[in-house]
Every structure is written in structure tokens, then in C-alpha cells.
Amino acid sequence: MPEQLVFDWPRDTALRPEDFFVSDANRVAAQLIAAPQDWPDGKLVLTGPESSGKSHLARVFQVTSDAMIVAAADLPEGLRPNGPLAVEDLSGLPPDREEAMFHLHNHMAGAGLPLLMTDRLPPARWNIALPDLASRMQATTPVNIEDPDDMLLQVLIMKLFADRQVIPPPSVVQFLSTRIERSYVAVGDIVARLDHASLVRKKPASIKLASTLLDKGDAEGA
């Protein structure tokens, strides 16, 4: 029987504050995001692995603090917000925007406005050439999202399936959580592969199908 043609439509990722699950891996980060008034010097650097929830927490900050969000790669010249601000992916700041970021940082500090910065890497590895900006970034209080613990791993599997409007059997969630690499990227990868395979085969997600995909992935990586 020919396989079903499947279109990879954009997924609705749930990024509301209530959709963020707090565990030991991200508890300190979540607590700090909820209390910008407690940030030393009014600024915070949020780091963590790829797909660990940094953007989700930035959206939480946006909602709870009425903050603006900008990507460092698209930082406008002369940006001077009159409220809290989150700048995402600071290691992607273009060299010709470093001075703009320096003046933005000083504006936020002078106005007493919370400044959240996010990236996979700590500030010391952002390769910022402007010394005054580099020193200010490295002096910012850091908080890191750790690799997922057991509970968070299972919740992430269920959430990413839910984003695809799929409710997997608990047995599949349990099986995946004991077999996949303990990383946020690995969770997203296996959920996408299992959902796609289920659609192609017109069969619900199962331990057998998940095992087949994982064994195939192990063989390809060997």
C-alpha cells in the first residue's frame, strides 16, 4: 500500500505562562523571571540548551511584565523602550549593533527598567568586541536552565505531542522517556518523527513504532 502524503504544516506551540512546566531543571529561572524587581542591577541573563524553554520564559516575561521582545540579530538602532525588555539570542548580535546594544543597556539601567537577555551560551562566549559592552554583559547575573529531569522529560513529550493535537498513550510516553537522550532537542526530534510516521502509516503512536524509529536512529548514528 502506498504511503500517505503528509504535509508538514506549522505547529501551534503553546507558549502561555500556564503552559510552562516548572521542575528542578528550570525552577530557579522561572522564579527569577516572575520577580524582575529582584534582579541585581535590574538585569538578568537566561541561558540553557537549545529548545530548553528560553523563548517560552521570555514570553512569560512579556505577559507578566508587559515587556517588549526583540531578537539581537534584528536590534534596531536607537531603541529606547519605556518598559521592560527582553533581547533574545545575544550571541547573534551583529558587530555593527554592538554600540546600539551598549546604549540600550545604559538606557535600561538609567531608567530602572528590567532587561532580560537570553542565549544558549554564557556572556563570556558571546564574542563581543566592544569592551564596555562585553564587561557589562559579563557582569550580569546569570541563570541557567539545566538538562531535563525525569518529570520534565515526560511532560515535554506530552506537551510537544499536544502541540501537534496528539494525545499519546501513557505507555508510549514512559517508553520514550527511558529510551531517548536526555536533551530538549532529542525530545522534539522523536516527537516529530513519531508523529510523522504515525500519519504516514495511518496508525496511532505505539511502543512498537517508537522502538522502530529509535532503533533506526541508533543504526544511522553508529
Question: How do the domains of the chain map onto residue ranges?
Answer: 26-144, 150-221
Quote the crossing angle between the two packed helices 170-179 and 150-163, to the nearest 10°. 120
Q: Does domain 150-221 have CATH number 1.10.8?
A: yes
Average pLDDT, the chain: 91
- Mean pLDDT score, 42-50: 98
pLDDT tens digits, one per residue of 178-216: 999 999 999 999 999 999 999 999 888 999 999 999 987
Residue 120, pLDDT score: 98
pLDDT tens for 131-170 read 999 999 999 999 999 999 999 999 999 999 998 999 999 9
More confident residue, 97 or 201: 97
Identify which of 157, 215, 185 has the alpha carbon closest to the alpha carbon of residue 52: 185
**Class of domain 26-144 (CATH, top level):** alpha beta
Give the per-residue pLDDT at 3: 42
